[in-house]
A = this chain, B = another copy of it.
Amino acid sequence: MLEKITKPSLMVNKAITLDNISRMLEKTKAAGAIFRPHFKTHQSGVVGQWFRSFGIHKITVSSVSMAQYFALHGWKDITIAFPVNLRELPAINHLALSAKINLLVESIEVINALETGLDHISDVYIKVDVGAARTGIAIDNSEAIISLAEQIKSKLKLKLAGFLSHAGQTYKAKGITEIEEIARCSQKKLFEIKEKLKDPSLILSWGDTPSCSMLPELNGFDEWRPGNFVFYDIMQYHIGSCELNDIAVAMACPVVAVHPERNQIVVYGGAIHFSKERIIADNGFELYGYVVEFTENGWSKPIAGAWLSSLSQEHGIVNLPSTMIQQFRPGDIIGILPVHSCLAVSAMNELISIEGEIIPCFKG
């Protein structure tokens, strides 16, 4: 499968991907919840088709451009899980001609602008900040949340669909107990808000791959929106969301230099392919990826004592055990499991399945 690889190429194992999708779907089904996977990770019409083969019809994206891309691929129910960008209202109006577009709001100002500027009636979710401190109204400010909900209900063009949260802090959580506490505590508060509004149809929508992967049961919320789980990555492995053999993507990188004197090889594969997402540990240790060897049907387990230790624009430096360094020659291909698969996919123009199929991706 590697004969045609001439430059950094993000290889996808379709079988692992399908397993990841199937497992998460079953978990949401068991809880009787809606599964609305986030497509910002794979960003591909082809991978979208793999989801569709499981009967999945609702999706999440993170930009209007990405919504346009997936609408063109036939998706009809798309939540843009990013605060409405008022500069893109004309594009949102156009999009709504071909798909149901669900919007995210957190201020009166944006609600008023939508009421004036939308050409259609739109479902809106209130973004509730459950502790990530990125966007949304703070969950403890229930008065402001309810007030915004009442405002939305008074508008002709807006239909309050529910409350949407992304517990980004689970990425820094210390294990399952803390994640369970974040989810349970947020669910309780969100449910109280929903109760006060006396509208049982309101949806509590919950995201983030760590909690969707690690919670034993996906109860409590009406909708789940994980994204990264489709491919997982080293970051998720470190958090505990997945096993190493659940990781479905590996960057194939040509070896361009071998330096036995410092137990390093240099690969073609840099910041513009992986992004500069990294994991830092004590003593200044930096990790940009684990190292694997490609096999007939995929890739090996990570090589113990090997890691992608540094990235510049096009170069990657790979540290290897001294016993292995002599195995590699310029022109060989080595595999790297990325730290953050979403950003690696976003940096590439396409994915390649280990069967050799070219899988085009959205370019934003």
Q: Is the CB of B314 within 8 A of A256?
A: no
Instruction: Tell me whether A84 is interfacial, beta carbon within 8 Å.
Output: yes
Q: Is the CB of A312 within 8 A of B6?
A: no
In the complex, A314→B110 CA distance in Å?
A: 19
Q: Is the CB of A317 within 8 A of B134?
A: yes
Instruction: Tell me whether A223 is interfacial, beta carbon within 8 Å.
Output: no
Chain B residue at smallest Cβ distance from A8: B364
Instruction: Tell me whether A275 is interfacial, beta carbon within 8 Å.
Output: yes
Instruction: Tell me whether A343 is interfacial, beta carbon within 8 Å.
Output: yes
Chain B residue at smallest Cβ distance from A342: B313
In the complex, A330→B117 CA distance in Å?
A: 14
Q: Mark A59-78, 1 if CB is under 8 A from B, else 0.
A: 00011110000000000000
Q: Mark A84-102, 1 if CB is under 8 A from B, else 0.
A: 1111100100000000000
A330 touching B107 in the complex, CB below 8 Å, given contacts A87-B6, A168-B312: yes
Please name all residues of chain B whose beta carbon is closer than 8 Å to the beta carbon of A40 when the two chains form the complex.
313-314
Instruction: Tell me whether A293 is interfacial, beta carbon within 8 Å.
Output: no
Instruction: Tell me whether A56 is interfacial, beta carbon within 8 Å.
Output: no
In the complex, A230→B273 CA distance in Å?
A: 23
Chain B residue at smallest Cβ distance from A268: B85
Choose among B7, B82, B277, B333 the residue that contacts A315 (Cβ–Cβ < 8 A).
Answer: B82
Q: Copies of this chain, how many? A: 2
Majority SS of interface residues in chain A?
A: mixed
A262 touching B342 in the complex, CB below 8 Å, given contacts A6-B87, A275-B271: no
Q: How far does the Cβ of A335 sit from chain B's closest Cβ, in whole Å?
A: 15
Please name all residues of chain B whose beta carbon is closer than 8 Å to the beta carbon of A138 when the two chains form the complex.
261
Q: Is the CB of A330 within 8 A of B363?
A: no
Q: How far does the Cβ of A344 sit from chain B's closest Cβ, in whole Å?
A: 11
Please name all residues of chain B whose beta carbon is closer than 8 Å to the beta carbon of A349 when the two chains form the complex.
363
Instruction: Tell me whether A233 is interfacial, beta carbon within 8 Å.
Output: no
Q: Mark A306-350, 1 if CB is under 8 A from B, else 0.
A: 000010111101000000000001110100000000110011010
In the complex, A346→B65 CA distance in Å?
A: 19
Q: Is the CB of B313 within 8 A of A343?
A: yes
Q: How many interface residues does A have (CB within 8 Å)?
A: 56
Q: Is the CB of B313 within 8 A of A346?
A: yes
Instruction: Tell me whether A118 is interfacial, beta carbon within 8 Å.
Output: no
In the complex, A276→B363 CA distance in Å?
A: 18
A276 touching B83 in the complex, CB below 8 Å, given contacts A7-B63, A266-B135, A331-B113: no
Greatest chain B CB density within 10 A among A40, A88, A91, A134 is at: A134
Instruction: Tell me whether A30 is interfacial, beta carbon within 8 Å.
Output: no
Please name all residues of chain B whose beta carbon is closer than 8 Å to the beta carbon of A275 when the two chains form the complex.
271, 275-276
Q: How far does the Cβ of A311 sit from chain B's closest Cβ, in whole Å?
A: 10
A88 touching B276 in the complex, CB below 8 Å, given contacts A313-B343, A330-B110: no
Q: Is the CB of A134 within 8 A of B256?
A: no
Chain B residue at smallest Cβ distance from A62: B314
In the complex, A343→B106 CA distance in Å?
A: 32
In the complex, A109→B259 CA distance in Å?
A: 13
Please name all residues of chain B whose beta carbon is closer than 8 Å to the beta carbon of A109 when the two chains form the complex.
329-330
Q: Is the CB of B330 within 8 A of A86?
A: yes
- State the 5 A-B residue pairs at the shortest beta-carbon distance, nearest first: A86-B331, A83-B256, A6-B87, A276-B276, A272-B346
